[in-house]
Structure 1
Amino acid sequence: MKKWILSLSLAAGMIVLAACGNGGDDTVVKTNEGNITKEDLYNAMKEKYPQQTQQALQELVYKKVLSEKYKVSDKELNDELQKTKDQLGSQYEAFLAQYGMDEKGFKDYLKLELLEQKAATADIKISDQELKNYYKKWQPEIKVRHILVDDEKTANEIKAQLDKGAKFEDLAKKYSKDIASANNGGDLGWIDYQGRKQFVPEFTKALDTLKVKEISKPIKTEYGYHIIQITDKKKKKPFNEVKDQLKEELKLSKVDQTKMQKKLNEVLKDANVKVEDKDFNGLFSEATSNK
């Protein structure tokens, strides 16, 4: 799964903070006993949720300054949204609800992620030969499901049931301790080539060796024992049809969080970011220092 899932909880705060952006005395709620203004809401957020508000402010500033230098097209944004829908499948609506977001709010967050990616990869060069070598190893998306249990005995019993014709989705719901996927019959959605590497090594190795519809023997990892199945696989397209996509994938594979933050700091410094609210003094000091 993509990295934004780890930090998406900030997005709701970012949206609320953005609504406070005009500040001042704009009224949010009216009562007979007095009104609640945007400034009241803003101050309440700072007081009750200081860390989340700081993080949300950072996201808003990043979006503002990055949008001036880099552009994300509607097609790029819609393609990224569709990838998420493909990954989450029937869990997509529940996913949005979990974070208190609608699709518009989620697209705003995806746009920021794409802007950050464009900034981080802007100076990375990929040669034609490097791209062709990558294509030789590259594999198209696969649709994966699994059942995770604690012990080998249970895993073997489940595998035996599957071999006798039991439904994978039924056993996943009954036995799997990966609750999120168990509720969806063990389905992990569509996984791209780089996404395979996000799993523990034993799981990734199984994905590289399994055929479509084949059910693995129990695979031991640090989380327990997995039974894995690839249910579908997309056709590998000709090089010329996917080379632009692969170039971006390869660029992103060369970016880690340290490099990403370094680039963001450079962009903030170029934008001459200055914090006017004393409660946020030092929030961007690393990015705006003269070091």
Structure 2
Amino acid sequence: MKKWALPLSLAAGVLALSGCGNSEGNVIATSKAGDVTDMELYAEMKDKYGPQMEQALEELMQKKVLSDKYEVTDEELDEEVKTAKEQLGDQYEMFLAQYGLDEDGFKEFLKLELLREKAALADVEVTDDEVKEYYDAWQPEINVSHILVEDEAKAKEVKQKLADGGDFAALAKEYSTDPGSAENGGSLGWIDNAGRAQFVPEFTEALGTLKVNEVSEPIKSDYGYHIIKITEQKEKGSFEDLKDQMTEELKQSKVDATASQEKLDEEMKAADVKVEDEDFKDAFKADEAAPTEETLPTEEGTTEEEPAAEDDAAATEEAK
């Protein structure tokens, strides 16, 4: 999964709502008994959801500070949404509903993530030789399915059924003990170059040897026995076509969560951020003690595969 696969919270919802443009005194609900204004709602939320509102304040200020220095285009946001839809498939709408977001709200969340990423990568440098070496080792996206069973005897039985012409998806639904992927005919979805590393070594190694539509022999891991199939593989473009993408991916590989948080703290300090509301006087202090939580996909592969729908997360965990 990509880095957008982060735990979402009330703060994400507040971040999304920040684009609505409410100002002091706006009436947001009416009744014969009286009206409710945005400021009343704000006060109520601050009282009930203090820590989450503090997080929302941090995210809103980060967005303002980083937007003043870095730019995220509509095209970039559309591409991130496209990637999310490809990775989550039919679970995309469930994912949005799980966190109370519509697509515009999700884009607001993604915008902050991309701004953080641009800040973290701003000072990272890579050479042309490093990029070329990375390209040579880089592998294109593959669409992977697997059937996970508990013991070798069952694995051999399933393997024989496949050899006799059995349908992989149907056998996955019947035999696989990985509930998330079994429901989808064994599909784990599209796995990118970095995502291959999310699996246990035996699984990752098998991915590097299989051809499209070739079915593996039973692969033993701590989770049981996997029968793996690559159903599709994207073409690997030329170095010139992929150079910009390779450069960005290589830069990302050189930045960890600690370095990202340090760069974010640096940007906030340079912006001379001050908290005027005493209720939020401790905002921005917690970030100095610990880096932002990240996963996946993740990429990511996965960090925690969490914002992904629960079944998708379960599938990944079983395959690891």
TM-score by length of 2: 0.81
Report the Cα offset of residue 150 of structure 1: 4.1
Report the Cα offset of residue 127 of structure 1: 0.4
Are residues 1:59 and 2:36 paired?
Answer: no
In the other structure, the counterpart of 1:284 is 284
* Distance in 1 separating the partners of 2:205 and 2:5: 24
Amino acid at match of 2:164: K
Q: Which has the higher helix share?
A: 1
* Distance in 2 separating the partners of 1:156 and 1:218: 7
Report the Cα offset of residue 64 of structure 1: 1.5
Report the Cα offset of residue 84 of structure 1: 2.0
In the other structure, the counterpart of 2:236 is 236
Q: Map of 1:253-264 to 2, 5 A cutoff?
A: 253-264=253-264
8 Å contact 1:116–1:260 — kept in the other structure? yes
Report the Cα offset of residue 191 of structure 1: 1.7
Structure 2: segments with no counterpart, 5+ residues: 290-320
* Distance in 1 separating the partners of 2:11 and 2:286: 23
Q: What are the Cα deviations for residues 245-285 of structure 1, in whole angstroms up to 9, with x where unaligned?
A: 10000000111111111111111111111122222222212
* Distance in 1 separating the partners of 2:220 and 2:230: 17
Report the Cα offset of residue 33 of structure 1: 1.9
In the other structure, the counterpart of 2:147 is 147
Structure 1 SS opposite 2:213:
coil
Quickly say closer, same or farther: Cα 1:93–1:22, change in 2 above 3 A: closer
Percent of residue pairs bearing the same amino acid type: 57
| Greater RCO, CA 8 A, separation 6+ | 2
8 Å contact 1:121–1:251 — kept in the other structure? yes
Quickly say closer, same or farther: Cα 1:281–1:70, change in 2 above 3 A: same
8 Å contact 2:16–2:108 — kept in the other structure? no
In the other structure, the counterpart of 1:101 is 101
* Distance in 2 separating the partners of 1:142 and 1:208: 10
Quickly say closer, same or farther: Cα 1:204–1:18, change in 2 above 3 A: same
Runs ≥4 in structure 1, deviation > 6 angstroms? none
8 Å contact 1:269–1:288 — kept in the other structure? no
Report the Cα offset of residue 22 of structure 1: 4.2
Structure 1: segments with no counterpart, 5+ residues: none
Report the Cα offset of residue 167 of structure 1: 2.0
Q: What are the Cα deviations for residues 142-174 of structure 1, in whole angstroms up to 9, with x where unaligned?
A: 111223344444444333332322222223333
TM-score by length of 1: 0.88
Q: What are the Cα deviations for residues 157-199 of structure 1, in whole angstroms up to 9, with x where unaligned?
A: 3333323222222233334344333332222222211121223
Are residues 1:115 and 2:111 paired?
Answer: no
Quickly say closer, same or farther: Cα 1:89–1:42, change in 2 above 3 A: same
Q: What are the Cα deviations for residues 101-137 of structure 1, in whole angstroms up to 9, with x where unaligned?
A: 2222222222222111111011111101111111110
* Distance in 2 separating the partners of 1:123 and 1:18: 30
